[in-house]
Every structure is written in C-alpha cells, then in structure tokens.
C-alpha cells in the first residue's frame, strides 16, 4: 500500500493542499503530529486530513493547545499562537485531538513518535548519537518521527558504538525526489515539515511510504506562502512566525 507520510502541518492549509495534490492517489496518510499550532487554519487542516484513511499521533504543539503541556515550555510566539488556536478549535476537533496518543504502532512494521521513541514529546533527533539511543525503544523495522522540521534518515548498522551497548547508526540528509530502499537495517525517518520547513527550503516537505515496494521517497512541493501569510496577518498572529515561512527557517 502507498501512504503519504506527513508531519508538522501547523495549521497551514495551503501547504497541506499542495502536498495532497502532489501526493496523488494514496491508500492513507500517516501523520507524525503537530497538526495545529503556529498557522491560521487549525480546523480546516484537521477536517482535511480526516477525509483520508488516517493514522496520526499528537505533537507537542497539539498537546499545548489542549492544555496537556505547560505553555511556559514554549517561546513567546508559540505561546501566543497556541492560545489563539485554543480559542478557535471547534468542540469536535478538540475532542478528536484529545483521542490521540503521543506514540503508537501503526502495524508490525511501523511505529510513530513525534519527537523520538524514547521521548515522544520533546526530544529532537538530529544526530546519529541521539538516534542510537532510540533504536532499542521500538520493536518495528521502521519508526517515523517529526518535531525537528528537518528531513532526515537514520539507519542502524551492524555492531556497537565503541564503549557502549548501543548500535552504530548512520545519518543521511535526503535530496528531494530521492528514493530510499528500506532493504536492510532498521530505520528512523523524519519526512520534514509540511507547514513550517526549517532546513532553508521554504517548500512543503513530506514523504511517500510504499510497504509493498519497500521504498520511501522524500518530496518537496511549492505552495502559496503569501496566502498563508495573509491569513496569519488577518488573525494577528506573530509577525516572526509569518516572515519565517519565506525562508524555510
């Protein structure tokens, strides 16, 4: 089956629509959290992804909006955006978010965790060292994560890191359009952010997971950034959050 793998949409409907159009026909969506926060259209984003066969988990911004995390853990702009989102969510969408977990197994091959399998809410997986601590924390061949907004692939290798009982791990920064053959070794994979990329590329980032072909394709697609920025401006959301979309930062 063919799945769209998405993360960190952050209430950016224009970016999500561009991804869904680019994605084409799929059997479902796998979403690694942070559906809301930052952006101007939280209800529309939730309702759009729920039109698909969907398996998703919560991210830290989703939890903050629900009051499950202390807002003091976030920077000022994120606090302001999360408070705004809290006021805008419909009762139905609020209850739907509340029903989600922070870490879950999709099937016998895939685990989802927003930050990491070890620390689903807060850990940023950005190095092979961090990834090596996490491979013992899930029992599936694949783990999909988000949170960093950076497309990354970590592959477990044979052998142990010197002086530890942890596996050797290699990190790969994928190019847009690159196909990864799952093939050998266990993987931790981050598709990057749909709604707020942070790798210097302003295009929405996502991946396609095919469990029959055993491939993962990393993808980028341009979207109407100005539309999202105008909606953020209209709602009085923080200017810095609006401006950073231009630069993918």
Give Cα separations from 123 to 113, 116, 190 (angstroms).
10, 6, 13
Q: 206 vs 19, 103, 231, 234, 238, CA distance in Å?
A: 7, 19, 23, 27, 25
Q: How far apart are CA 135 and CA 196, in angstroms?
A: 27
Residue pLDDT tens, the chain, 249 long = 999 999 999 999 999 999 999 999 999 999 999 999 999 999 999 999 999 999 999 999 999 999 999 998 899 999 999 999 999 999 999 999 999 999 999 999 999 999 999 999 999 999 999 999 999 999 999 999 999 999 999 999 988 888 788 889 999 999 999 999 997 779 999 999 999 999 999 999 999 999 999 999 999 999 999 999 999 999 999 999 999 999 988
Question: Distance of CA 177 to CAs 40, 126, 205, 217, Å?
Answer: 29, 21, 11, 6
Task: Count Cβ atoms below 10 Å from residue 141 Cβ, excluding itself.
Answer: 15
Closest CA to 207 of 1, 5, 2, 3: 5
Classify 129 as helix, strand or coil: helix
3-class DSSP assignment, residue 201: coil
Secondary structure class of 121 (helix, strand, coil): coil
pLDDT digits (tens, 9 = 90+) for 60-115: 999 999 999 999 889 999 999 999 999 999 999 999 999 999 999 999 999 999 99
User: What are residue 55's DSSP bridge partners?
Assistant: 30
Residue 239 to residue 243: CA distance in whole angstroms: 6
DSSP letters for 184-207? SS-EEEEE--SSS--SS--SEEEE
Pairing of strands 28-31, 54-56: parallel
Cα 33 from chain centroid (whole Å): 5
């Amino acid at each position: 089956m063919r799945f769209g793998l998405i993360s960190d949409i952050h209430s950016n409907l224009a970016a999500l629509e561009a991804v869904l159009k680019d994605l084409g026909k799929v059997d479902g969506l796998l979403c690694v959290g942070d559906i809301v926060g930052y952006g101007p259209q939280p209800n529309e984003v939730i309702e759009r992804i729920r039109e698909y066969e969907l398996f998703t988990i919560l991210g830290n911004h989703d939890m903050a909006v629900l009051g499950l995390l202390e807002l003091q853990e976030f920077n000022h702009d994120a606090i302001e955006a999360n408070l705004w989102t809290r006021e805008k969510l419909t009762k139905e969408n609020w209850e739907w978010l509340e029903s989600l977990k922070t870490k879950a197994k999709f099937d016998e091959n895939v685990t989802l965790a927003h930050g990491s399998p070890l620390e689903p809410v807060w850990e940023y997986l950005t190095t092979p060292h961090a990834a090596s601590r996490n491979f013992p924390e899930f029992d599936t061949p694949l783990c999909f994560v988000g949170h960093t907004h950076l497309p990354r692939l970590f592959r477990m290798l044979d052998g142990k890191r010197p002086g530890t009982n942890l596996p050797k791990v290699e990190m790969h920064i994928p190019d847009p359009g690159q196909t990864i053959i799952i093939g050998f070794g266990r993987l931790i994979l981050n598709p990057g952010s749909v709604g707020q990329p942070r790798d210097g590329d302003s295009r929405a980032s996502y991946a396609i997971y095919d469990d029959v072909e055993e491939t993962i394709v990393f993808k980028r697609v341009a979207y109407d950034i100005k539309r999202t920025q105008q909606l953020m401006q209209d709602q009085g959301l923080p200017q810095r959050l609006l401006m950073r979309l231009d630069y993918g930062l």
